[in-house]
């Protein structure tokens, strides 16, 4: 590992070592990865044939320090699809670098994952939103990225993707439509929204002036996660 400021702290060999360690312990070959945000670890409970690894037992893996983040990786099957779930994830405000925060995403890419779903808690900015609404992200504003806090800064390893990835279709329209259709089937449309998410570093919640500013900038919700993972995964040129 190297420590050059503002660049990735993990080498390709670190990612490869963790990936091989996991694939040697499980027969699962996940095609879908689900990063479960605060209190949504239960998303993994519906899977069958589960195999669980605590983060502290996985080489190079960070550990969760935030309440509501259990800290384990669960492999399992949903219908016929092999999936991997992160029960708990990592945030900048825990003191992790963005390289550490996004570490698992690159492991998923090396495992052959083709579709990444991320859930997270967030605060509503759009005045039409109500407490408890679910927002499907159609685009994001990465505020820390404006200040150089970006997981793709530093030397680019082409094995993970190109130097200057395009972000104009970061959140798959097909998947967003699918969620809306399934939500409608389940009679949940009244609390499913679509909007622009703004990532901030936290740990404090935004001030009233900041919330006003975010509204002016076109944000519908704000939270401490998300865009960084999406960017890392976008890099990998895979189906989303």
Ligand X SMILES: O=P(O)(O)O[C@@H]1C[C@H](O)[C@@H](CO)O1
**Residue 68 touches which of ligand GUN, ligand X, none (CB < 5 to 8 A by kind)?**
ligand X
**Residue 140 touches which of ligand X, ligand GUN, none (CB < 5 to 8 A by kind)?**
none
Q: Could you tell me the two tokens for 198?
A: 């703004």
Q: Which residue has tokens 């998947």?
A: 175
Q: Which long-range contacts (CB under 8 A, 24 or more apart) does 176-184 make?
A: 176/136, 176/138, 179/136, 180/136, 183/134
C-alpha 192/C-alpha 184 separation (Å) is 9
Q: Which is nearer to ligand X, 28 or 140 (CB)?
A: 140
Task: Provide the CA 228 distance to its chain's centre, in angstroms.
Answer: 7
**Residue 62 touches which of ligand X, ligand GUN, none (CB < 5 to 8 A by kind)?**
none
Q: What backbone torsions phi and psi does residue 53 show, to the nearest 5 degrees? A: -125, 130
Query: Which residues bind to ligand X, rule: CB under 6 A?
Result: 37-38, 66, 68, 91, 120-121, 223-225
Q: Which is nearer to ligand X, 191 or 205 (CB)?
A: 205
Q: By rule CB under 6 A, what string of x and - marks binding of each residue 99-138 to ligand GUN? A: ----------------------xxx---------------
Task: Provide the CA 154 distance to its chain's centre, in angstroms.
Answer: 20
User: Using only C-alpha atoms, what is the Rg of the chain?
Assistant: 17
Rounded least distance, CB 223 to ligand X, Å? 5
Residue with smallest beta-carbon separation from ligand X: 37
Q: Could you tell me the two tokens for 223?
A: 């939270």
Q: Kind and range of the H or E element at 144?
A: helix 143-146
**Residue 123 touches which of ligand X, ligand GUN, none (CB < 5 to 8 A by kind)?**
ligand GUN
Rounded least distance, CB 38 to ligand X, Å? 3
C-alpha 66/C-alpha 94 separation (Å) is 8
Restricted to residues 194-223, the positions that interact with ligand GUN (CB under 6 A) are: 200, 202, 205-206, 222-223
CB atoms within 10 A of CB 45: 11
Q: Which is nearer to ligand GUN, 82 or 225 (CB)?
A: 225
**Residue 41 touches which of ligand X, ligand GUN, none (CB < 5 to 8 A by kind)?**
none
């Amino acid at each position: 590992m190297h420590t050059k400021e503002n660049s990735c702290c993990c080498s390709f060999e670190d990612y490869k070592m963790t990936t091989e360690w996991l694939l040697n312990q499980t027969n699962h070959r996940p095609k879908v990865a689900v990063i479960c945000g605060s209190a949504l670890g239960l998303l993994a409970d519906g899977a069958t044939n589960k195999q669980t690894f605590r983060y502290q037992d996985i080489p190079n893996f960070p550990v969760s320090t935030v309440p509501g983040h259990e800290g384990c990786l669960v492999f399992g099957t949903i219908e016929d699809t092999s999936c991997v779930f992160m029960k708990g994830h990592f945030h900048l405000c825990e003191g992790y670098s963005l390289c550490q925060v996004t570490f698992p995403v690159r492991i998923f890419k090396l495992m052959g994952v083709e579709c990444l779903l991320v859930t997270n808690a967030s605060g509503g900015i759009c005045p039409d939103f109500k407490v408890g609404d679910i927002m499907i992200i159609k685009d994001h504003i990465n505020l820390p990225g404006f200040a150089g806090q970006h997981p793709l800064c530093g030397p680019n390893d082409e094995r993970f993707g190109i130097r200057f990835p395009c972000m104009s279709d970061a959140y798959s329209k097909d998947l967003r439509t699918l969620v809306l259709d399934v939500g409608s089937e389940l009679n949940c449309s009244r609390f499913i929204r679509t909007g622009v998410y703004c990532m901030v570093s936290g740990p404090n919640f935004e001030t009233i002036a900041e919330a006003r500013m975010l509204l002016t900038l076109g944000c519908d919700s704000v939270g401490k996660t998300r865009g960084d993972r999406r960017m890392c995964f976008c890099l990998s040129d895979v189906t989303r």
